[in-house]
Structure 1
Amino acid sequence: MEPRTSPVAGSQAGVMLLEALIAILVFSLGILSVVALQATTVQLTSDAKYRTDATLLANRLLGQMWTSSGNLTAMKTAFQTGGTAYNAWLADVSGRDGLPGVVAASTGVVSTLPTVAVTINPGAADDGQVVITLRWRTPEMPLNAAGHQHIVVSQVSRNP
């Protein structure tokens, strides 16, 4: 005598395999989402590091300005783009611990050199105003991209 199988059991053959495949698909999508989230987190963390470095470098230059002589004309000559103090600071910015991708326009790519401007308007509200603009490119950015920038505006003046 043959064992009898019910028509219901025959119609459900392979359902467990199908459920297992769907579960594996859902699990795989979850893992891929976590990996993508991790990659985004790493990129945002490195961007935050570059912004923090730019802030620290600008504050370092401002500190050098505050400790220099109180003469705004001498400070403008030394610290404005191309001055002796600016060039010394630029060597630090472009070094191993500086911002990545800092290059001059003479290399054929978009200039990312920091710029410093000192305003001298005796008696005016903007007398002794310093504007520091830092630019950088992250390693994954193309060479001709403008990159990121951080602008610091401060007032450097002495009490009379």
Structure 2
Amino acid sequence: MTFQQGRRRPRQRGIALIEAMIGVLIFAFGVLGLIGLQAAMTRAQTNTKFRADAANLAADLIALIQTDTIANMKQYEKASCAAYPRCKEWRTKVKSVLPSAEDPEVTVDTGTSKVDIIIRWQQGSDTNQYQTVLMWQP
């Protein structure tokens, strides 16, 4: 009787390889999840930046309106803006800062002392809008 006869051969082979493959698969799903999260965060950050830019542009227009005379208030409306240099310059700035920006809508109501500003822009397939209202004491 030799020592070779008393040994048994293991029947399970390759278990470590299967465990390693399952571990790699779980790791790959985790990495894909992180990539998706990073993409969503980048989209949200870009959207936030454009909203902040729109708010700053609206504040710029409010400053222009407040430093102008009451007689020129109607010059800031959409129909007259292209002919009024201060408004035209601001509108050009809006189009250069925001992606695919539409002509801003500015409505001036001197009777109620109210200016309504709406800025719209296109980001990918989404249309975004920022709106603010200025009211003043005559």
- Could you state the TM-score of these two structures normalised by the residue count of structure 2? 0.86
Instruction: Please tell me whether Structure 1 or Structure 2 has the larger radius of gyration of its CA atoms.
Output: 2
CA distance in 1, matches of 2:53, 2:136: 22
Report how many aligned residue pairs link the two structures. 131
Match of 1:33 in 2: 33
1:129–1:155 contact (8 Å) kept in structure 2 = yes
Structure 1 residue 154, shift from structure 2 partner:
1.4
Question: In structure 2, which of residues 121, 130, 135 is the aligned counterpart of residue 155 of structure 1?
Answer: 135
Q: What does residue 90 of structure 1 align with?
A: 91
* Residue pairs, 1:38-49, within 5 angstroms: 38-49=38-49
Pick the structure with more strand per residue. 2
Instruction: Give deviations 1:53-88, integer Å, cap 9, x for gaps.
Output: 00000000001111112x2x4212x21112313222
The 5 A counterparts of 1:1-160 are 1=2, 2-3=4-5, 4-5=7-8, 9-10=10-11, 12-69=12-69, 71=70, 73-76=71-74, 78-81=75-78, 82-83=80-81, 84=84, 85-95=86-96, 98-102=97-101, 112-121=102-111, 127-138=112-123, 140-141=124-125, 147-158=127-138
User: What RMSD over aligned residues (CA atoms) do the two structures have, in Å?
Assistant: 1.6
Q: Aligned AA for 2:131? A: I
Counterparts of 1:56 and 1:30, CA distance in 2: 39
Determine the C-alpha separation between the residues in 1 that align with 2:72 and 2:13: 89
Q: Which runs of 5+ in 1 are unaligned?
A: 103-111, 122-126
* Unpaired runs of at least 5, structure 2: none
- How far did 1:134 drift? 0.2
| Secondary structure at 1:100 match in 2 | coil
Query: What is the CA-CA distance between 1:116 and the residue it aligns to?
Result: 0.2
Any runs of at least 4 consecutive aligned residues in structure 1 with deviations exceeding 4 A, and if so which?
none
SS in 2 for 1:40: helix
Q: What's the % identity of the aligned pairs?
A: 28
